[in-house]
Structure 1
Amino acid sequence: MKKITLLVVAMLFGSLTAFAQFSFPSVPGPTNVAAGTPVTLNINDVGNSAAATAGSYVSFSVSVDWTEGAGGPWSSEADLTVTTTAGSVVIDPATTGAGTSGAATTMTFEGSFTAPYDPSVDGFLDIVLNQSFAGSDADWSNIVVTVTPPPACGDPENLSAAPTDVAVTISWDAPAFGTTTGYNWEVQPDGVAQGTPGALASGTTAGTSVVTGNVLTASTAYEVYVQTDCGVDGTSAYVTTGFTTTAGPPPANDNFANAQAIDCSTTNLMGSTSLATLDEDDAPDGGGADMDAPNVWFSYDSAAEGAGDITVDLCPSTYDTSVLVYTGTSGNLTFVAGNDDNIGVCGQCCQSNVTFVANGTDTYYIAVEGFNFGSTGDFDMTVSCVAPTPPPANDQCANAEALTLTVTATGTTVGATTDAGDPPTCDTFGQIADVWYSVNLTLSSNNLSIVTTITDTSDQANVAVYTDCDGAAGNSVGCSDANGGETLTINNLPAGLYYVRVWSDGNAPPSSGRTEGGFTVTADATLSTGSVEDANAFTYYPNPVKGELLLNAQKDIQDVTVFNVLGQQVLRVAPNNADTAIDMNGLSNGAYFVRVTIDNVTETVRIIKQ
């Protein structure tokens, strides 16, 4: 290592009226610096031969004119070390002016001493010049070292922030310099400059720590700014640090065990699943909703609040919701109702609305969640209740309403109770709303026909026939479930009392939107073909018919009566001939029942008028 000792004569200026920064005389150079051979320049000695102004200096700046030599150096490969008796400070690369090329440039190296430098006490000051790229060298010229005293008001030191989910504790150390009278502080959103109007929190304090109020948002980034106030000596610059608030605790009703009670007065209850966890993930799915997302829990005590149709509305929510309703206990829940997206009610995707029937006894548990595990957000829930409709008089088989053959009866499934114990053989969904009728067959062998039609809000009037009120599959003699009005024909039934079950799918509204409602039901029975003597047989054609229906028999036809599907008589003739034509031109298009009597034996056929 080469060492060049320079005795520098201080420049004296008129009378100094204040302690200010001091610049040592320039080292003109050029000083060639080769990689691997740092060059040390002595700027001042212990005795302060450079006659630097007495005082405590805390920082330095070294300016250098740099030009490349051999070996292809870059100015960014230059570094400088400043050494006093108190220690050394390395600046690498230059603070300003360094580049990734060999272009000539002026660089500055700025930093703070390891301890205050007072040349009147110990003036020793060296700088070490270095190039790092092997095999290269560069010329350093016009080197000027400037030392700077402390500011009149020092910056706060060691600023730190300790956040919670909604607040932050800000701490710092007092500055090393200046006479402090207090501090100014403020908190801004991340990336927002100090002094911008609308700071989230701000104030003044005499101490070195402060706690904000609960004004912050969980899991959010912020900036904190602190400034020293030195009274008549002014203020420091603001120092800053960033922080992010914590996620915060989960909602109080995060788990099934802590379900929040709701009732029919619950309106626009605001909540969030953003910090929730997934609880009861083994609970059954249903209604298009899966138990697979972070959820919160609510409870509806129907014993206290009453029975009825309970609607949970999440339509105003701001994320993709799902809702599931259960009865039971933790780990042993029974599905009641569910919904993922109810576009028909909400008018948009993708929020939920579900209605379930509370029985007035059970407590119902409602899980609000997103459509999958990554779906969380804010929800808005309203609960509404409608008092239950009393069940029809023939809600139970024991109270079955008797049907008169060929006479149409009106009925409804509105208010009918759930009958899940013995589902019809053609509809095993397990939850239906049904009513019951009975029909007495007196012929030795009967062809029984049951016809239902929809009359209002329902889209179903399904039919099954049983030999007794047990309702078990083994007692079923016929079943039809085509999701509309039905025509069920069962042949060769012996004489006896039969029970007719009419139902729609479930009095707990399913996700398909099916509803209960009114219907008509008509029963008719004719002697089975195998039991009618050939002499009483007849033929009829055409079917469908547009004008006349032709009847041909071996004996005289005593009576022909035509009924519409409502059981109303619309036409009757007494031909007393074996062959006759029934004029149907005056009838509206649709289905009709034609009852033919021959030799006091009656048979009914169904025809279509076009």
Structure 2
Amino acid sequence: MKKIYSFAFIMALCSQVDAQVLNEPAGWPNANWTITGEYNPDPLAFEADPTTTANFAFDDDDSGSSTLANEDHIAAESPIIDLNAAFSANEKSLEISVSYAFNKYANDVLQFQYWDADASAWVAWTGDNVPDNGSATDNFCSATKTTHVTAGLDISNFTSTQLSGFKYRIFYDDDPDGAAWNYGFCFDSPTLMSVACSGITNLAVADILEDSANLTWTAVSGVAGYQYALDEMEAAPADGTPITEATFSATDLTPETVYYFHVRTDCGGIYGPWNTLTFTTRALPPANDACADAIVVDGLPYTNTQDATTASNNDGTITTCGTGMNDGVWYTFTGDGTGISVNLTNVEGWDPEIGVYTGTCGDFTCVGFKDNGGNSDDETFGFTSEVGVVYYVNVGHYNGTTDNPEGPFTISLDTYVPAELPENDSCATATAIESLPYTNAQDATAATNNDGFVAACAFGANDGVWYTFTGDGADITVAISEIVGWDPELSVYTGTCGEFTCAGSADDGGTDGGETVTVAATEVGTTYFVNVAQFSGSTDNPEGPFSLSVSSALAATSFTNSEFKSYPNPVADVLNVSYTKNITNVAVFNMLGQQVLSKSVNATTGKIDVSSLNGGTYIVKVASGNETKTIKIIKM
């Protein structure tokens, strides 16, 4: 009889533990609930009132007409719920289960709170705020809802006043620091439950590698600790290993394996429910994941196809070239003095960059890089190698600050005969144009940026190939055409190599487009420098094929100087011009060759109003039939 009684007692105790003494649905609509706060009561904003409907919903986005200037805070508050029975049954943890939709925006706060009857104050529920789970912007009760279970609220130290005066609320504030205009939420009727031992919430995994992972969850107040099990079975275990912290570092894992991590609370011999999370370890990184393990290319041509998805950023981002790139996978070879072409093809689902370096692993010198700037784009980089020099090739994600995954690609390396360096590659070796008109066709693919970017005009340009001509007093037009496969800029300067003054430039902003610059009234005897270059003033990119033409307007019939007059000079407001024949047109140009004023005269005298021009030097071109006269004026 004694044994039977003891067994019955144990069964009763177990029943008491498993049963929820407190299982209190809110039962919306429920007139015993109350709505508090300062909010826009318009139904467009206050979408659902739980005292009269089965939901609690507020649309902060539609509260703009509120007299509160978009400062809304609203709460749905439960009636008093006596916790003494649950406390006496040793169910000293509370949880709330609810289905809801919430589109969080900016600083808005949505949380459960409970009433501390001793302090006469609302206190935030244990754990995080209610998480964002949707994207609806209106009619939130029509949005897809998910279930949220709060972290356990430990009531083991509650006083009798706190137990008997308990209530809870759902509280929303669009911005605790002031006014805001955000989205909103909708709750179904919640249920308050008492449990002997609360469950785990916010279980998450991070830092998954091929042999390790880190597990975390929200610490549960009032528990003795936790039990965990890590295995390859989905079913919850019968028992687990005790730990005290709300974190676990899993090590010695097998690559490409599905694991299940089970964890539960330990309330001193009473346990919460198992919470299970699954994750898959990464595959082993490629053999050439690190520079030190680079694949040695013994001969060219060479081709290799690989999937670098599991490559790691083990040596950090490589910042030697350009704006840097990820540490991807590596190849190495020794130069033989030939041109080397490095090509990436069959790129799938990622944005690659090629980096080529000399030096040693971790102490590189940049040879060059290539990044076309697009997802799944092919890349090609060519350079002339030096005999006996060891080169390292990094194939990685283009980003120089954030670790992003690589993916599949095919790499090929081959030799090629590099284009010859143009004789006019530098300003000092510019091609001198002896007479006009002049034409020249050239392939500037091998031109170098040897003197650095030339910043004298507009946004600057590469240092491309160079020409010079001598001013003859007339307008001289420089044009490039037949551009193939590159984006040019055409610039004309005076001065000396390295000490330029801009005389004019043109960049229409497109690949394969021609450019034209007219230098008005060139100064007789002055040397002008022409730079035909890739448009960028900050990135060294290759030039290509083009045709150049330079022509002078000197062939036009000149005025009889003794019969032409212009005054005053300098001029403040009106420039007077006169000639023995009808003057057909007068045009004014700035020193960049841009026309700033034009006037038809059709008389032997004319008054040209220049009062609107800024002070400075201008070129005035006077036309009389087929005759032209160019003068320089100073505008005061």
TM bracket, shorter-chain basis: 0.3 to 0.5
More strand by share: 1
Q: TM-score, normalised by structure 1?
A: 0.42
Q: TM-score, normalised by structure 2?
A: 0.41
Q: Greater Rg, structure 1 or structure 2?
A: 1
